[in-house]
Amino acid sequence: METMNAIEVNHLTKKFNNKIAVDDISFNVKKGEVFGLLGPNGAGKTTTLRMITTLLKSSNGSVKIFGHDTAKEGRLARSMFGLTGQYASVDEDISARENLMIFSRLNGLSRAESKQRTQELLTEFSLLDSADKSLKDFSGGMRRRLDLAVSLITRPALIFLDEPTTGLDPRTRTQMWDTIRKLVAQGSTILLTTQYLDEADQLADRIAVIDHGKLVKIGTPEELKKQIGGTKLNFTIDKSSQMTIAVQLMTKQLDESIGQTGQQLSATLKNINQLTPLLVTLQQAKIAISNLTVQEPSLDDVFMNLTVGKN
Amino acid sequence: MEVKTQRGNLIMNTATMAYRNLLKTFHNPDRFMDVIIQPVMFMLMFGYLFGGAIAGNVQNYLPTIVPGILIQTMLSASSGSGEQIREDLDSGVFDRFKSLPMAHIAPLAGQLFADILRLVIAAAVSLTTGYLMGWRPAAGFGWVVVIALLAVFTGWAISWIFALLGLLAKNASTVSSFSLIVMLALSFLSNAFIPIKTLSKTMQFIAYMNPITYVITAIRQILATGSWTHEAVLVLIFGIGIVLVFAPLTVWAYNRNN
* Per-residue pLDDT tens digits for B176-220: 899 889 989 999 999 999 888 888 999 999 999 999 999 999 999
Q: Given an 8 Å threshold on Cβ–Cβ distance, is B91 in contact with A87?
A: yes
Same domain? For A141 and A34 the reply is yes
The 3-state secondary structure of chain A reads CCCCCCEEEEEEEEEECCEEEEEEEEEEECCCCEEEEECCCCCCHHHHHHHHCCCCCCCEEEEEECCEECCCCHHHHHCCEEEECCCCCCCCCCEHHHHHHHHHHHCCCCHHHHHHHHHHHHHHCCCHHHCCCEHHHCCHHHHHHHHHHHHCCCCCCEEEEECCCCCCCHHHHHHHHHHHHHHHHCCCEEEEEECCHHHHHHHCCEEEEEECCEEEEEECHHHHHHHCCCEEEEEEECCHHHHHHHHHHHHHHHCCCCEEECCEEEEEECCHHHHHHHHHHHHHCCCCEEEEEEECCCHHHHHHHHCCCCC
- Specify the pLDDT at position B162: 93
- Of A200, A226, A252, the residue at which a domain comes to its end is A226
- Specify the pLDDT at position A228: 65
pLDDT of A311 over the 60 cut: no
Same domain? For A267 and A156 the reply is no
Amino acid identity for residue B93 in this structure: V
> B237 pLDDT band (50/70/90 cuts)?
very high
Question: Which residues on adjacent β-strands are paired with residue B202?
Answer: none
Residues of B in contact with A89 (CB under 8 A): 91-96
Same domain? For A110 and A30 the reply is yes
Q: What average pLDDT score do residues A91-117 get? A: 91
Same domain? For A258 and A272 the reply is yes
Q: What average pLDDT score do residues B41-56 get? A: 91
In 3D space, the residue among A300, A54, A168 whose CA is nearest the CA of residue A179 turns out to be A168
Q: Does the pTM exceed 0.80?
A: no
Q: Is A292 within 8 Å of A235 (Cβ atoms)? A: yes
pLDDT of B242 over the 90 cut: yes
Most B CBs within 10 Å: which of A51, A56, A89, A160, as the mutation test of the B interface?
A89
Q: What average pLDDT score do residues B232-250 get? A: 95
Same domain? For A147 and A93 the reply is yes
Provide the edge-to-edge strand list for the sheet that holds A19-29: A19-29, A7-16, A60-65, A68-69
Q: What average pLDDT score do residues B107-126 get? A: 92
Distance from CA of A177 to the nearest CA of B (A): 22
Could you state, in order of their start, the residue ranges of all structural domains in chain B? 2-257
Asked, for residue A307, whether it belongs to a domain, the answer is no
What is the CA A94 to chain-centroid distance, rounded?
A: 32
Same domain? For A214 and A85 the reply is yes
- Specify the pLDDT at position A33: 93
Amino acid identity for residue B58 in this structure: V
- Specify the pLDDT at position B4: 36
Distances (CA, A) of A63 to A6, A113, A155, A194, B138: 10, 32, 22, 21, 66
Q: Which of A7-11, A62-66, A72-76, A146-150 is least confident? A: A72-76
pLDDT of B258 over the 70 cut: no
Nearest-CB residue to A83 (from B16, B17, B99): B99
Query: Mean pLDDT over all residues of chain B?
Result: 89
Angle, to 10 degrees, between the axis of helix B58-91 and the axis of helix B2-27? 120
- Specify the pLDDT at position A88: 60
pLDDT of B46 over the 80 cut: yes
pLDDT of A147 over the 50 cut: yes
Q: Given an 8 Å threshold on Cβ–Cβ distance, is B9 in contact with A108?
A: yes
Residues of A in contact with B23 (CB under 8 A): 93-94, 98, 102
Same domain? For A181 and A244 the reply is no
Same domain? For A72 and A210 the reply is yes
Which structural domain range is residue A49 located in?
Answer: 7-226
Most A CBs within 10 Å: which of B96, B97, B255, B258, as the mutation test of the A interface?
B96
Distances (CA, A) of A75 to A13, A68, B99: 21, 10, 9
Angle, to 10 degrees, between the axis of helix B38-55 and the axis of helix B106-132? 40
Q: Looking at the complex, does the CB of residue B255 fall below 8 Å from at least one CB of chain A?
A: no
Q: Given an 8 Å threshold on Cβ–Cβ distance, is B92 in contact with A87?
A: yes
Asked, for residue A248, whether it belongs to a domain, the answer is yes
The pair phi, psi for residue B109, each rounded to 5°, is -60, -40
Q: Enter the ipTM.
A: 0.79
Domain count for chain A: 2
Maximum separation of any 2 CA atoms in chain B, in Å: 66
Q: Is A1 within 8 Å of A25 (Cβ atoms)? A: no
Distance from CA of B16 to the nearest CA of A (A): 7
Residues of A in contact with B2 (CB under 8 A): none
Distance CA B48, CA B62 (A): 10
Same domain? For A221 and A235 the reply is no
Most A CBs within 10 Å: which of B9, B100, B108, as the mutation test of the A interface?
B100
Please count the residue pairs, one from chain A and one from chain B, whose beta carbons lie less than 8 angstroms apart: 71
Q: Looking at the complex, does the CB of residue A267 fall below 8 Å from at least one CB of chain B?
A: no
What is the CA A97 to chain-centroid distance, rounded?
A: 30
Q: Given an 8 Å threshold on Cβ–Cβ distance, is B92 in contact with A78?
A: no
Q: Looking at the complex, does the CB of residue A286 fall below 8 Å from at least one CB of chain B?
A: no
Q: Given an 8 Å threshold on Cβ–Cβ distance, is B95 in contact with A83?
A: yes
Same domain? For A162 and A100 the reply is yes
Q: What average pLDDT score do residues A152-175 get? A: 87
Q: Given an 8 Å threshold on Cβ–Cβ distance, is A79 in contact with B17?
A: no
User: How many alpha carbons lie under 13 Å from residue A15 in its C-beta half-sphere?
Assistant: 7
Nearest-CB residue to B96 (from A76, A79, A85): A85
pLDDT of A222 over the 60 cut: yes
Burial of B3 (0-12, 13-18, 19+ CB in 10 A): exposed
- Specify the pLDDT at position B6: 47
Q: Is A229 within 8 Å of A268 (Cβ atoms)? A: yes
Residues of A in contact with B28 (CB under 8 A): 93
- Specify the pLDDT at position B257: 66
Same domain? For A77 and A123 the reply is yes
Q: Given an 8 Å threshold on Cβ–Cβ distance, is B23 in contact with A93?
A: yes
Q: Looking at the complex, does the CB of residue A89 fall below 8 Å from at least one CB of chain B?
A: yes
Q: Looking at the complex, does the CB of residue A93 fall below 8 Å from at least one CB of chain B?
A: yes
Residue of B nearest to A100 (CA): B20
Q: Given an 8 Å threshold on Cβ–Cβ distance, is A89 in contact with B28?
A: no
Q: Given an 8 Å threshold on Cβ–Cβ distance, is A79 in contact with B96?
A: no
Residues of B in contact with A101 (CB under 8 A): none
The pair phi, psi for residue B102, each rounded to 5°, is -115, 170
Q: Hey, what long-range contacts does A249-253 have (CB within 8 A, 24 or more apart)?
A: A249/A281, A249/A282, A249/A285, A249/A287, A250/A278, A253/A277, A253/A278, A253/A281
The residues, ordered by sequence, that sit 6+ positions from A20 with a Cβ below 8 Å of its Cβ are A13, A14, A213
Q: Is B63 within 8 Å of B134 (Cβ atoms)? A: no
Residues of A in contact with B19 (CB under 8 A): 102
- Specify the pLDDT at position A229: 65
> A159 pLDDT band (50/70/90 cuts)?
very high
pLDDT of A230 over the 60 cut: yes
Residue of A nearest to B18 (CA): A102
Asked, for residue A311, whether it belongs to a domain, the answer is no
Q: Is A243 within 8 Å of A260 (Cβ atoms)? A: yes
Q: Given an 8 Å threshold on Cβ–Cβ distance, is A105 in contact with B28?
A: no
Nearest-CB residue to B98 (from A55, A92, A94): A55
What is the CA A255 to chain-centroid distance, rounded?
A: 35
**Percent of chain B having pLDDT more than 70?**
96
> B170 pLDDT band (50/70/90 cuts)?
confident
The residues, ordered by sequence, that sit 6+ positions from A248 with a Cβ below 8 Å of its Cβ are none
Q: Given an 8 Å threshold on Cβ–Cβ distance, is A94 in contact with B23?
A: yes
User: How many alpha carbons lie under 13 Å from residue A124 in its C-beta half-sphere?
Assistant: 22
CATH number where A141 lies? 3.40.50.300
Residues of B in contact with A91 (CB under 8 A): 20, 24, 91, 93
In 3D space, the residue among A231, A233, A239 whose CA is nearest the CA of residue A285 turns out to be A239
In three-state secondary structure terms, B192 is coil
Same domain? For A271 and A252 the reply is yes
Asked, for residue A280, whether it belongs to a domain, the answer is yes
Using the 8-state DSSP alphabet, how is residue B196 labeled? G
Q: Looking at the complex, does the CB of residue A191 fall below 8 Å from at least one CB of chain B?
A: no
Distances (CA, A) of B20 to A84, A99, B17, B88: 20, 9, 5, 12
Most B CBs within 10 Å: which of A50, A70, A93, A152, as the mutation test of the B interface?
A93
In 3D space, the residue among B43, B78, B252, B38 whose CA is nearest the CA of residue B158 turns out to be B78
Distance CA A183, CA A173 (A): 15
> B250 pLDDT band (50/70/90 cuts)?
very high
Distance CA A51, CA A36 (A): 16
Distances (CA, A) of A172 to A53, A134, B98: 26, 20, 28
- Specify the pLDDT at position B116: 93
- Specify the pLDDT at position A195: 83
